[in-house]
Amino acid sequence: MKRVEDFMTSIPDFPKEGIIFRDVTSVLESAEGLHLAIDELNKLLDGLDYDLIAGTESRGFIFGAPLAYMNNKGFIPVRKKGKLPRETVEMSYDLEYGSATIEIHKDSIKPGDKVVLVDDLIATGGTIQAAAKLIEQLGGEVVKMIFLIELVDLKGREVLKGYDIESVIQYEGE
């Protein structure tokens, strides 16, 4: 039986020498790979009490929306600044080379909502930490963070101490 890892393509020296890029699009391009990925992420939610799933732009949408559908939950998009039409709250955070700002609709999270955050990858943890802060700022509780891929050596879990974090695939190295 195949595993999600069997559909992952690793590209050496991209975007720079010494980095191995883990290309999730090779999983998405295969019906079997995509099905396995969604099913494995869904297993991480077994027995969890939650109200909503939030996913970060853009691959968090790809994995989060089908999970919300499968579990009869609402889906909250966490978008780049300027992409949402209603009143928003925003959070800026640092990237390796620069900074970024994400936002969510101010009325999408109600006080007491239990939220699962989903993304394709956890590396340094900056994006998902900013998303968690937005949810908490609106009175929501982040009850779990799930990822298809975890780059262990980049220590995103350390940035996200105190959160329940699970990933389907773990890779050592950058």
- Contact (CB, 8 A) for 111 and 85: no
Which pLDDT belongs to residue 1? 87
Q: Give the pLDDT confidence of 12-56 residue by residue, as tens digits.
A: 999 889 888 899 999 999 999 999 999 999 999 999 999 999 999
Please give the pLDDT value at position 95.
Answer: 79
Rounded mean pLDDT, 117-139: 96
pLDDT, averaged across the chain? 95
φ and ψ at residue 62, rounded to 5 degrees: -60, -40
Structure confidence by residue, pLDDT tens digits, 161-172: 999 999 999 998
Tokens of 138: 């609106």
pLDDT at 173: 67
Helices 59-70 and 31-43: crossing angle in degrees, nearest 10, is: 70
Cβ(47)–Cβ(122) under 8 Å? no
Give the pLDDT mean for 4-18: 92
Res 174 pLDDT > 60: no
Confidence of residue 98 (pLDDT cuts 50, 70, 90): confident
Q: Is 157 a catalytic residue?
A: no
- Please state which of the ranges 23-27, 85-89, 93-97 shows the lowest mean pLDDT: 93-97
Which position among 17, 86, 87, 96 bears the catalytic label? 96
Catalytic residue, candidates 59, 79, 103, 150? 59
Query: Does residue 59 carry a catalytic annotation?
Result: yes
Please tell me the distance from the alpha carbon of residue 78 to that of residue 44, in angstroms, as a whole number. Answer: 21
Residue 97 has pLDDT above 70, yes or no: yes
Q: In angstroms, rounded to a whole number, what is the distance separating the alpha carbons of residues 63 and 118?
A: 7
Instruction: Output the six-digit token pair for 62.
Output: 């790809």
Q: What is the pLDDT of residue 19?
A: 86
